[in-house]
Amino acid sequence: MPMIDITMSEGALDVEARKALAERVSSDLIELEGAVDNPYARSITWCFIDERREIYVAGIPAEKPVYRVVLTVPEGVPGLYGPLTVENRRTLVRRVTAAVLDAERTEFSIPEAARVWVQIRQIDDGHWGGFGELVTIADIAAYGLGIGPENSVGQRIRESMTPILDAGVPA
């Protein structure tokens, strides 16, 4: 159930570039958090893009567009948390930074990458709510994999998402 928030300078990217960026970051996050990339995972991967008229760097208006990308995931996603997953987090930050600069049509360099900040946040298990329910990592996994007992939270989520899935969530 990852959530992506991208805040950027107003007018930094056109509509097509924003769409491509949302798709690329969504794909990278699903992959590196360790989820199965299927229509179920995509249906609960939401990306919010917020353009800001004024962004200040060191107290003065930013001369070039700047970006903050906040990736919020539930506690326990296997690909991002634990001592063996530091490299996945590094990879995710690199990929997201590259995706932003590609969307902007800017060649990657350290000075250009310095305009992109990526934050990975974890929500404690049992502190995520959706569908009018308290949702745990086990519920999310059950939803994504189509498993779990009748009337479980995962199954209720699956039933409520049917209209979205029927509308054609990309795989």
Q: Per-residue pLDDT tens for 116-147? A: 999 999 999 999 988 888 988 888 888 887 78
Q: CB within 8 A of 45, min separation 6: which ones?
A: 1, 2, 3, 4, 26, 29, 30
Q: What would you report as the CA-atom Rg of the chain, rounded to the nearest whole angstrom?
A: 17
Neighbours of 97 (CB within 10 A): 20
What is the pLDDT, as a whole number, of residue 88?
93
pLDDT score of 141: 84
Under-70 pLDDT residues of the chain:
169-171
Query: In this predicted structure, what is the pLDDT of residue 16?
Result: 98
What's the confidence (pLDDT) of residue 21?
98
Please give the pLDDT value at position 67.
Answer: 98
Domain at 3-124, CATH homologous superfamily:
Macrophage Migration Inhibitory Factor (3.30.429.10)
Whole-angstrom CA distances from 116 to 3, 15, 39, 94 are 18, 19, 29, 10
Phi/psi of residue 99, each to 5°?
A: -65, -40
Q: Are 99 and 24 in contact (CB under 8 A)?
A: yes
In which element (H, E) is residue 7 found?
strand 3-9
Determine the pLDDT at residue 163: 79
Q: Give the orientation angle of helix 153-166 with respect to helix 137-145, to 10 degrees.
A: 50
- 71 forms bridges with which residues in the sheet? 4, 120
Single-letter code of the amino acid located at 127: H
Residue 170, CB-side half-sphere exposure with 13 Å CA sphere: 9
Helix residue spans in 4-148 (DSSP H): 15-33, 39-43, 86-103, 110-113, 137-145
In contact, 98 and 108? CB cutoff 8 Å? yes
pLDDT over 70, % of the chain: 98
This prediction's pTM: 0.89
